[in-house]
Chains A and B, each alone.
Chain A
Amino acid sequence: MVGIAMPAPDRHVLERRDSIVAALKAIVPGEGVIDALTEMRPYETDALTAYRQMPLVVVLPETVDQVSRILRYCYENDVKVVPRGAGTSLSGGALPLADGVLMSMMKFNRILDIDFPNRAVIAQPGVTNLGITRAVEHEGFYYAPDPSSQIACSIGGNIAENSGGVHCLKYGLTTNNVLGLEMVLITGEVIRLGGKHMEAEGYDLLALMTGSEGLLGVVTEVTVRILQKPETARAALVGFPTSEDGGRCVADIIAAGIIPGGMEMMDGPAIQAAEDYVNAGYPRDAEALLIVELDGPEAEVDFLLARVEEIARANRAGYLRVSTSEEERLVFWAGRKSAFPAVGRISPDYLCMDGTIPRRELPRVLAGMRELSVKHGLRCANVFHAGDGNLHPLILYDANKPGELEAAEAFGADILRLCVAVGGVLTGEHGVGIEKRDLMPEMFSEDDLKQQQRVKCAFDDKHLLNPGKVFPVLHRCADLGMMHVHKGQLAFPDIPRF
C-alpha cells in the first residue's frame, strides 16, 4: 500500500473470525460465504488497483432478509461492513477492510418491474446500468445516466456514487433520475424511500443516500425513471488552435441557449494518443478538440447544428466536420471513448483524476497543469466533459520506477487543489472514497466535515458501514454530539426569554 492509511484493524475482531464466519454461514447457506484466501482474492481491490486489502470474509446475500440479518449481526457484534457492487469504483469506495465483512450485492441481479406508462423500472442493485437500458430499449426507452463503465457497473453502485456520464448537462446525474429505494440500515431495519411517484415525502433521504458511498445504508432495490430515446443524434467535431478558443466556443454555445446532449473536449496530448490508437481522423495540429453532440427531433438537431457551426467559426475553429451518418458520429466518439486505453498504450500506468471546475477557468487550469507537469516530471493528457466542467486529467507514470507512483499521486493532489482554488470541487463523478479522502480539508472546514459526519451518526452511530472512506478523521458520534454552549454570555440581552 502507498500513501493512504486505513484505520488499524481491530485485533479483537480478527481473533473472532471463526465465530463471525460461522454466524454468517448460518444466515447465508451454501456458497454464499467465502472465507478461503484464494477465493477472496477477486475482492481485494476495486478499479483503484493501486490499493489492495484482503477482507475478513466475503458474503453474498440473496434476499433482503439475509441482508438485514447480516447487518444486525454485525451491528450487535461491532463488526465493520464494506458493501460492494460490481467493484468498478475508481476511488477505492469498495476497498475491503482487514477486520471487515465484505458484502457483495451482485446476487441481487433481477429486474423486478418494467412500467412503461409510469416510465419507471424497479431493479435489484446488482443489475448493471446498461442492463436497465437493455431491458427497455425494445420500446425505444433508455436509462439516461451513462458512466463509461456502464457495461459492468451496477445500479446500486451508481446510487452509492451518484454516477454521471457524458450526458449529465442535459439529462442529469443519478440523483436526478432515481425515484425510489429500498435500503437496510446497519441495525437491520428495512426502509423504503419514494416509489414510482415523483417526490418522496418528508426529508429528502433519497438525496442523502445518492452519493453516500456506502456509508449510510445498503441498497436492496432501486426505482429509476426511464426516458424515450431521442429521435436522432448528430455530432460536430471541431479543432481549435488554442484551448482558450475551445473554451470560449463552449461558453458561447451555452450562452446561445443550446444545451447539447454531450460536449467533450480533449487537449493536444489526448488527441495524439487517441489518434494513434483508433485513427478517428482527429486533426493532429489542433491544441483542443471539441465534440458537440446534439440530440432530439431531427428538425431541432439540424437547426442547432447550423448555429453551433457559426459559433465555432467565430471562435477560430481550424477544423470542422459534422457527422452525416450514424457511422460517422460513432467514429467521432471512438477516439474520445478510447482515450483511457489509448493513454494506457503510451504509458505503463496512469492515474485518472476527476475534478470539476467552472467552465471559464479551463484555460487557466490547463496552463496550471502544464506547469505542474514540469514540476513533477510527469506527462499528463486531458479529457474534459466540457458541458459540465468535469475534468479527467490522466497522469502518466511507471509503477516500476521507484517514486513515480508517489510523484503521480502528488501531481494529482496538486491538480485537485488547483480545481478547488478556482472555485471547483475535488470530485465530479468518481467519488471521494479513499483516493481523495485526505484532500477533503482542502474544500471543507472542520465544521463542514463535522456536520457531514453527524449525518452519518443518524444512520450508523457506531461507524460500522464502510469506515475509513470519505472522511479524513473519524470522530466518535458522542463527541460530535457535544455542543459548545455559551450560557451566561447574553449576546442578545434585549430578547425576552421564556
Chain B
Amino acid sequence: MTHSALTPTTAEETRDFLAYAAAEELPVEILGQGSKRALGRPVQTAHVLDLSRLSGVEVYEPAELVLTAKAGTPMAEIEALVAGAGQELSFEPMDFGPLLGEAAGKGTLGGLIGANLAGPRRIKAGAARDHILGLDAVSGRGEIFRSGGRVVKNVTGYDLPRALTGAYGTLAVSTLITLKVNPRAETSASLALNGLSDAAAVAAMCAAMGSSAEVSAAAHLPEGICQRLGVAGEDRPGPVTLLRLEGFGPSVEYRFANLARRLAEFGPAERIGDAASKALWQAVRDVIPFAGSRNPVWRVSLPPASGAELMQRLRSIMPVEGFYDWSGGLLWLQMLDGEVHDVPLRAAIADHGGGHATLIRASAATRAAVPVFQPQPAPLAALSRRLKAQFDPKGILNPGRMVADA
C-alpha cells in the first residue's frame, strides 16, 4: 500500500488535514518517530499523519515544576533539558525500543502520552497520566480543543488530558502538552535481598512498601533473569529482590538502615550504590532481560500481593518465564515456545485476584488476530465505543489500534 505522509508544523495544519480526512472519511495513522508502532494492534491506512515536525519545547519553568512542549518533541531533548535543571519526569517513562527491536532513546512526547508510559517508580509517583496537566488537541472531527491547564491543582471541567493519556491516538491528536516535572533525587541506593522464593520476595516487597521507608521501586528477578542482567555473582546466583531508596544523602542512609532492620527476617541486606543501582533499574524499566528475542511478551497488571501465586500457576500450564516490578503489581512475561497463550493467561489472571494483560511483543499477524488489550465486559466496551464516537465519529484516528472495528 502506498503511504502518503503529511507532516504538519502547526496545530492549525493538523486541524485542516483532519477536518479534510473526516469529511472524506480517510483513515489516518498517527505517528511521531514510530518507536512504538509495533505496540497495539497493527493499523493499516493509506495516510500517515507524521507529527515529528510539530516539535519544540515552548515553556520550561523549573521553579513552577512545569514544561510545555509540542507533541512531536523528542523525549531525548526533553529529558536532557530537565536534567540540566536537576529535574526529571518522576514517572520514569520506560523506553520500549530495546524490547521491540528498535533503537533505544527514540520516541516523542506525544507517544509517551498516547501509551501512558511509566517505569519502576510507578508505585510511588504514578504514570504519565498522573503528571499531565493540560493539552491542546485536534479531535477526529477536525476541531482544536484545549483542556486542563498549566497548574497542578485544577478541577475546571472534565479531566480530558488524563482521559486521552493511554488512548493510543484513537480519540484525538494532541499537539501541545503540559507536564508536571519534579526535582531529581540527589542520590539513590538499592537494598538487595538474595535467594528469596517468589512468594517470599512478594511478601518482602509488600512489607517494604507498607513501611515508612519511602521505597521508590520494588522488583524481584528470578534466577535466570538476574543472570542475564549481570546482577548475579558467584556468591549470589540469584534470585535477587531489589528495593530502591532515593532522596537526599542522609535520608537515604537513614532509611536504608531502617529498612534493613524491618526486613531482617528475609535475610541480610546488601547495598547497591547509586551508579550500579541506576543502571540496574534502567534495565528493569526497559525489560532488557527479554530484549533481543522474538518470543511473545506480555505485561500483566495485577494486585501486587497476587503476583507470586499467579506466576506459580502460569508455570504449571505454559512454558513461561517472568519477573516482577511494582512490588509484584507488574509481571513481565515471556512465552518460551513462541505461542501467545492469551486465553489461559487471562483466565488465570481472573482466577488470581484480577487485573489485566496486554500483549506487548508479537508479530503483526498475531497482534491482528489476538486481543492485544484486555477484552472488556459488554457495558464497558459499549461505553468506550460511545466515547470514541464522540471524539472521532468517522473512526479515522488510528483505526483498530486498540480494538478491532465492530
Binding site for B on A (CB under 8 A): 115-120, 139-141, 161-162, 164, 168-169, 172-173, 175-176, 185, 189-193, 195-199, 201-205, 207-208, 210-212, 228-231, 251-252, 254-259, 296-300, 303-304, 356-360, 385, 388-390, 423-432, 436, 440, 443-445, 447-452, 454-459, 470, 481, 483, 485-487, 490-492, 494-498
Q: B66, B154, B247 — which one has the most chain A CB atoms within 10 A of its CB? A: B154
- Closest residue of A by beta carbon distance from B16: A491
* Measured CA separation A211–B149 after assembly (Å): 15
B46 at the interface (CB under 8 A from A): yes
List residues of chain B with CB within 8 A of the CB of A196.
303, 353-354
Q: Which residues of the other chain, A, contact B123 by a CB distance below 8 angstroms?
A: 198
A426/B64 contact (C-beta < 8 A), A201-B376, A458-B390 known: no
Please, which residues of chain B bring their CB within 8 A of the CB of A498? 26, 46
Residues of B with C-beta under 8 A to A140 = 212
Closest partner residue, chain B, to A160 (CB atom)? B155
A207 lies within 8 A of B129 (CB):
yes
Answer whether A388 and B163 are a contact pair too, CB < 8 Å, given A118-B206, A259-B183. Answer: no
Q: How far is the CA of A162 from the CA of B48 in the complex (A)?
A: 37
Report which of B166, B253, B330 forms a contact with A198, defined as CB distance below 8 A. B330
Residue from B157, B182, B183 whose CB has the most chain A CB atoms within 10 Å: B157
Query: A389 and B151: CB pair below 8 A?
Result: yes
Give the docked Cα–Cα distance between A191 and B377 (Å).
9
Q: Check: B343 CB closer than 8 A to any chain A CB.
A: no
In whole Å, how far is B31's beta carbon from the nearest beta carbon of chain A?
Answer: 16
Once the chains bind, are B153 and A388 in contact (CB under 8 Å)? yes
| Residue pair A203, B171 in contact (C-beta under 8 Å) | yes
- A495 contact set on B, CB distance < 8 A: 4, 6, 20, 26, 47
Say which residue of B20, B163, B353 sits within 8 Å of A205 (CB atoms).
Answer: B163
Chain B 18-60 near chain A by CB (<8 Å), digits 1 or 0: 0110111010000000000000000000110000000000000
Q: In the complex, A454 Cα to B158 Cα: how many Å? A: 11
Which of B94-102, B138-146, B359-367 binds A? Answer: B138-146
* Interface SS, B side: mixed
A431 to B157, CA, bound (A): 8
Give the size of the chain B interface in residues (CB under 8 angstroms). Answer: 103
Residues of A within 8 A of B293 (CB): none
Known: A303-B248, A458-B387, A483-B22. A390 touches B153 (CB 8 A): yes
Asked if B4 and A496 sit within 8 Å, CB to CB, the answer is: yes
Q: Is the CB of A203 within 8 A of B167?
A: yes
Task: Check A444 against B63 for contact (C-beta < 8 Å).
Answer: no
Assuming A202-B373, A228-B210, is B159 touching A208 (CB within 8 A)? Answer: yes
Residue from A210, A212, A495 whose CB has the most chain B CB atoms within 10 Å: A495
Beta-carbon contacts under 8 Å, B345-402 to A: 353-356, 358, 373-374, 376-377, 379-380, 383-384, 386-391, 393-394, 402
Residues of A close to B165: CB separation below 8 A: 204, 207
Q: Which residues in B have their C-beta under 8 angstroms from that of A256?
A: 183
Please give, as numbers and ranges, the residues of chain B lying within 8 Å of A193 by CB-CB distance.
380
In order of increasing CB-CB distance, the 9 nearest A-B pairs are A300-B251, A207-B162, A257-B183, A299-B254, A196-B303, A428-B153, A454-B390, A117-B305, A458-B386
Q: Please tell me if the beta carbons of B150 and A423 are within 8 angstroms of each other in the complex.
A: yes
Q: How far does the Cβ of A493 sit from chain B's closest Cβ, in whole Å?
A: 10
Chain A residues within an 8 Å CB radius of B182:
259
State the CA gap A230–B213 with chains docked (Å).
9
Measured between alpha carbons, how far is A196 from B123 in the docked complex, in Å?
A: 12
Other-chain contact of A454, B17, B63, B152, B391 (Cβ < 8 Å): B391
B126 within 8 A of A: yes
16 extra A-B contacts, CB within 8 A, seeds A116-B210, A191-B377, A497-B26? A192-B377, A197-B354, A199-B356, A202-B376, A203-B166, A203-B384, A208-B159, A208-B162, A230-B212, A259-B183, A299-B255, A303-B248, A390-B153, A432-B155, A432-B156, A436-B156
Interface centre among B141, B184, B383, B388 (most CB of A within 10 A): B383
CB contacts (< 8 Å) of A210 on chain B: these are: 159
Is the pair A203, B387 in contact by a Cβ cutoff of 8 Å?
A: yes
Give CA–CA (A203, B26) in the complex, Å: 23
Contacts of A303 in B (CB 8 A): 248, 250-251
Contact B383 A459, beta carbon cutoff 8 Å: yes
For residue B258, CB closer than 8 A to chain A, the reply is yes
Distance between B222 CB and nearest chain A CB, rounded to angstroms: 20
Pair B379/A190 contact, Cβ less than 8 Å: yes
15 residue pairs bridging A and B, Cβ less than 8 Å apart:
A196-B354, A198-B301, A203-B163, A203-B167, A207-B129, A207-B159, A212-B158, A296-B251, A297-B251, A303-B248, A451-B139, A451-B391, A452-B147, A458-B387, A491-B16
Q: A204-B163, A258-B183 known; A300 and B151 CB under 8 Å?
A: no
Please tell me if B211 contacts chain A, counting CB pairs below 8 Å. yes
Assess the B20–A191 pair: CB atoms within 8 A: no
Closest Cβ of chain A: how far from B115's Cβ, in Å? 12
Asked if B191 lies at the interface with its beta carbon under 8 angstroms from chain A, I say: no
Q: Which residue of A lies closest to B167 (CB)?
A: A203
Judge whether A204 and B116 touch: CB under 8 Å.
Answer: yes
Q: How far does the Cβ of A293 sit from chain B's closest Cβ, in whole Å?
A: 16
Given contacts A300-B248, A455-B390, contact A425 B154 (CB under 8 A): yes
Q: A443: which B residues are within 8 A, CB to CB?
A: 149, 156
Q: A204-B163, A448-B147 are in contact. Are A429 and B254 (CB under 8 A)?
A: no
B304 touches A118 (CB 8 A): yes
Partner of B329, one of A197, A360, A454: A197
Pick from B47, B63, B118: contact of A251, CB under 8 Å? B63
Q: Considering only CB atoms, which chain A residue lies closest to B358 in the complex? A: A201
B254 — which chain A residues lie within 8 A by C-beta? 297-300
**Does B253 lie within 8 Å of A299, measured CB to CB?**
yes
A208 contacts across to B, CB distance below 8 A: 158-160, 162-163
* Chain A neighbourhood of B353, CB < 8 A: 196
Residues of B contacting A427 with CB < 8 Å?
154-156
In the complex, whether B320 has a CB less than 8 A from a CB of chain A is: no
CB neighbours (8 Å) of A448 from chain B are: 145-147, 157
* CB-nearest residue of chain A to B183: A257
Closest residue of A by beta carbon distance from B249: A303
Decide: A458 and B383 in contact? CB cutoff 8 A.
Answer: yes
A353 to nearest B CB, angstroms?
A: 13
B214 interfacial by beta-carbon distance below 8 Å: yes
A-contact 0/1 string along B254-290, CB 8 Å cutoff:
1100100000000000000000000000000000000
Scoring B4, B46, B159 by chain A CB atoms within 10 A of each residue's CB, the highest score goes to B159
Candidates A388, A430, A455, A487; contact of B155 at CB < 8 Å: A430
- Complex alpha-carbon distance, A281 and B384, angstroms: 55
How many angstroms between the C-alpha atoms of A229 and B383 in the bound complex? Answer: 38
B65 at the interface (CB under 8 A from A): yes
The answer to whether B63 and A359 touch across the interface, beta carbons within 8 angstroms, is: yes
Residues of A with C-beta under 8 A to B65? 254
B127 in contact (CB, < 8 A): yes
List B contacts of A304 (CB < 8 A): 248
In angstroms, how far is the closest chain B Cβ from the Cβ of A306?
Answer: 11
Complex interface: chain B residues within 8 A of A360 (CB): 61, 63-64
Contact indicator A486/B214 (Cβ below 8 Å)? no
- Complex contacts, A297 vs chain B, CB 8 Å: 212-214, 251, 254-255, 258
Q: Would you call B354 and A452 a contact (CB within 8 A)?
A: no
Q: Which residues of A contact B144 (CB under 8 A)?
A: 447
Q: In the complex, what residues of B have CB within 8 A of residue A230's CB? A: 212
